[in-house]
A and B are shown apart, each in its own frame.
Chain A
Amino acid sequence: MGIEITINGEKKVWDTKPSETLLDALRNHGYKSVKRGCDEGHCGACTVLVDGKAIKSCVMLAGQAHKRNIVTIEGIGTIDEPHPLQKAFVHTGGVQCGYCVPGMILSAKALLDENPVPTEEEIKTALDGNLCRCTGYVKQVEAVGLASKMMRGEN
């Protein structure tokens, strides 16, 4: 079946299998930054933004994304022009193996878009669906606070 979606600002029409997950559809179309960690909605490596909200793309069918607006990490910054969150994650040491990081940053982006000055508790709540085994989260939580400051021009 055909679905119309907007990905990182570009309108696309995809022919997908209706039973395909959004994760599979995205990866099959080259969006390799969307990672597979569990396929059951638990680890958050596959997190993308759907209409601005962080969603686990392994427990969403591609058909559900019809006429929705999807953002992946490719859509928020590049190595030449990184998003403040990407800068902050690298700066603080919030990136170790980095497998969880695209999803983690997207969860953080959804938070900062809605709530530009979050408390530490709010950051922890917004990131609680993105598991990371490397960092112990300390520097990732710090990174979101730092990005919030950077986006307000404080750093």
Chain B
Amino acid sequence: MAVKIKEGFKVVGKSVQKVDGFSLACGKAKFVDDFDLPGCLYCKILTSPHAHARIKSIDATEALKIPGVITVMTHEDVPRIAHTTAGQGYPEPSPYDTFILDKKVRFVGDRVCAVAAETKESAIEALKRIKVEYEVLEAILDPRESMKEGAPVIHDEEEARMIIPVPYDKEKNLASHADFTVGDMEKGFEEADVVFEREYESHYAQHCPMEPHICATYLDENNRLVIMTSTQVPFHVRRIVAERLQLPIKRVRVIKPRIGGGFGAKQEVLLEDICSALTLKTGRPVKYEMTRKEEFMSSRTRHPQILKMKVGAKKDGKLTAISMKVLMNTGAYGSHALTVACNTGSKVLPLYNKALNVEFWADSVYTNLPVGGAYRGYGATQGYFAMECILDEISRELDMDPVELRKINHIKTGESSPVFAALGEGKPGVEQKVGSCGLGACIERGMEEFDWAKREDRKKEVSPGKKRGSGMCILMQGSSIPEIDMGAASMKMNEDGSFNLNVGATDLGTGSDTVLAQVAAEVLEIPVDDIIVYSSDTDMTPFDVGAYASSTTYLSGYAVKKCAQKIKRQILKVAGEMLEKDSYDLYLEDKKVHDFDGNSVTYKEIGTRALYETDQHQIGAIASHISHKSPPPFAAHFAEVEVDTDTGKTEVLRYVCAIDCGTAIHPRLAEGQCEGALLNGISFALTEEYVFNKKGRMMNADFGSYKIFSTGDLPEMKVILVPTYEVTGPFGAKSVSEININGPMPAIGNAIFDAVGIRLKHAPFTPEKVLMGILEQKEKEAVPV
């Protein structure tokens, strides 16, 4: 493994003070709801009680009589423009199957109509008085039923379509399809000594950002529409809202203030259209904040998948063939339906590039259930559950350490996989060689920290009624979408030697403002607090696709690096004039430009000269960046669990994660990304799930019964950053945010097997499933063969 950390970074690789840290810790930072807008109306949405119904009539007479209710907006009041809520680049690879408001509802929680009122109370009261007559239609609540002959057609409207040339068949409820084969599957399985076929099922989950979706809209003094919103994709919001409301893009400004977490949920243009429509209709500011219940029932979720796996291996552990067939439930709308399904293959299968015969097939189907969306991990979470669990089974069949099986088969530096080219995001993928892979070191460091070798000995340490077990998995993800995503940054120098850094990149709580400032500071040889970061505002900052696909550090970071380098050249030019030297005889250090004769000028002097004294001009630059590859970060995960055989409850005792994210620009923030992803993954694996009634209604739409972990459930977690140097990233960086959410489901699933001998293929691993599994196992063993 090549580790080429450049010696002597001054800011990169240091855990500097987060630029918005004290503002947040002191309660000063402003989130959308913290802005008071005089005369603001409150928006509330009436949602569907039915999984599938046609709206015959909406009578708002009584609602409009309530004092303070200003308007009730229905599908008759808004433009009927088919679109996708997915906040993706244009042309979006998600079907255009959604309307601002429609005459049909397709899941419990779907929008029916909107109210704007002077107070929240009167808006809520209004919802109760709106009379809606529905024609209830047969619903599809099981994705296995969606494509069957005679199934109800969920998108029977003529407008629904894909705008890129990919398969889409609304008559069959098929929201997307992708497949590829490399090699010869038949031959691959023939060569195998063992062939395993298994079916796995991953479940619904919600992102649960602490700040729910919220948006405020108003008309500014020039009658432009201003959308202040909790979003990961401000530029996509601008484009998509303008399109939906038939406004010129120039009339729309989107401002992203501080964001209270997103995890993909806010890569969705969900509220901005209706809020804007109400502002345009009333001329007044309008605020719409989702309740936690709406967040669960009406916003976006992790797409559940049914994964059929078939994997062949030789006795020596070498994989000969991998077949992955995915049936994905996209819910009532096809948001991210194609790309999440594709990522299930494209982020998983290349990891095992020693298997030369690989087949992938994915159908995303509509159901009358909540809508899937982008969620940290983005399909890889589901895929790794299946892949890493079946490999655990194979390693046991071959009587091989599961770590060894991975070592033999995983991709390494300089290698490629045909899957990279075969599977992209709505178009073919991009061929790439892995430029940096620290997976071998991750495995070694992880095993050492975990003390993998002594895992059998530790089984003896348990108290009565409990059993202990260990499991592991390895992972990769990507960093940005190659040839598609673009990030840009602009900078200017002030006369005191400070700099404004304006980025379209969207800090949604990850700390990217700080990381991007570090990149600029490293180039300009200044401390981070000489950089004033502003993100993101479509009027003020350059374009960026937004915070998704693990792209901000890698892609936007490179744009910042380029931009800072341009600034550096301008600084050197001015300094050269001042010191009467050629700029290549100068260097930057400590907020000064030096020559090699001991002379220097300060940034303050340079800035002052440029703005006020001689040949006045603004030292400033703008730079953009796209990537031709998506270098994967890699990780190895190790979990130790204790299962209570009386109750089925699984406790994670220890969780070790060793990750190669290239250079960690800000190690503490990078660790924080890992720890956050791990705990989210752990509670996803153990407790988080949607409970539906027979009519497709989610029954546990609150934090009281949809359980995410608190400090009371916190296992011991250890994150090890294993440095590599990715030459295509800024200062060697790759991505870090998503990858680690993918590990807990397989690692814990494998550990549960190690502890009690049951294979749970339908997550989450609740106490009930584990205990029932143990009992079934006992019954089977009791029957004489």
Contacts and interface: CB of A to CB of B under 8 A. Distances in A.
B210 A35 contact: yes
Interface string A22-38: 00000100001111111
A141 interface: yes
B702 A137 contact: no
Given A73-B26, A133-B207, A136-B678, A99 B714 contact: no
Interface string A128-142: 111111111111110
Interface in A75-108: 77-79, 82, 86, 89-93, 95-102, 105
Contacts of B25: 73, 82, 86, 89-90, 95, 98, 101-102, 105
A137 B27 CA distance: 19
A136 B15 contact: no
Given A42-B702, A93-B15, A105-B25, A99 B31 contact: yes
Interface string B214-226: 0000000000000
Given A98-B258, A99-B260, A129-B710, A135 B210 contact: no
Contacts of A32: 27, 30, 33-34
B354 to A, nearest CB: 33
6 contacts: A34-B27, A73-B27, A92-B668, A131-B708, A132-B210, A133-B680
Given A82-B25, A97-B508, A134-B261, A35 B31 contact: yes
Interface stretch (B618-626, B669-677, B691-699, B774-782): B669-677
Interface in B177-225: 207-212
Interface residues of B, number: 55
Given A95-B25, A136-B672, A139-B672, 16 more contacts: A32-B34, A35-B210, A36-B33, A36-B289, A40-B292, A40-B702, A43-B703, A97-B210, A97-B258, A97-B259, A98-B509, A123-B711, A131-B708, A137-B711, A139-B675, A140-B711
B465 interface: no
A131 B26 contact: no
Nearest to B211: A99
Please provide the 6 A-B residue pairs with the shortest distance between their CB atoms, ordered closest to farther: A97-B509, A33-B27, A98-B24, A99-B260, A136-B675, A42-B703
B23 interface: yes
Interface centre among A89, A93, A105, A129 (most CB of B within 10 A): A93
A100 B710 CA distance: 12
Interface string B537-557: 000000000000000000000
Interface in B282-315: 289, 291-292
Contacts of A132: 210
A121 to B, nearest CB: 10
A96 B714 contact: no
B21 A131 contact: no
A125 interface: yes
B165 interface: no
Given A35-B31, A98-B24, A99-B509, A131 B210 contact: yes
A134 B22 contact: no
B339 interface: no
B672 A135 contact: yes
Given A99-B31, A134-B676, A135-B676, A141 B714 contact: yes
Contacts of B454: none
A96 B676 contact: yes
A40 B212 CA distance: 13
A138 B672 CA distance: 8
Contacts of A34: 27
Contact of B26 (A86, A125, A137): A86
A131 B259 CA distance: 16
A21 B676 CA distance: 31
A4 interface: no
A124 interface: yes
Contact of A38 (B30, B679, B702): B702
Interface string B709-745: 0111010010000000000000000000000000000
A146 interface: no
Contacts of A90: 17-18, 21-22, 25
A129 B227 CA distance: 33
Contact of B210 (A27, A45, A127, A141): A45
B29 interface: yes
Contacts of A102: 25, 27
B29 to A, nearest CB: 6
A133 B711 contact: no
A134 B677 CA distance: 8
B38 to A, nearest CB: 14
Given A133-B261, A137-B711, A97 B211 contact: yes
B189 to A, nearest CB: 41
Contacts of B510: 96-97, 134
Contacts of B509: 96-99, 134
Given A35-B210, A97-B210, A98-B509, A137 B679 contact: yes
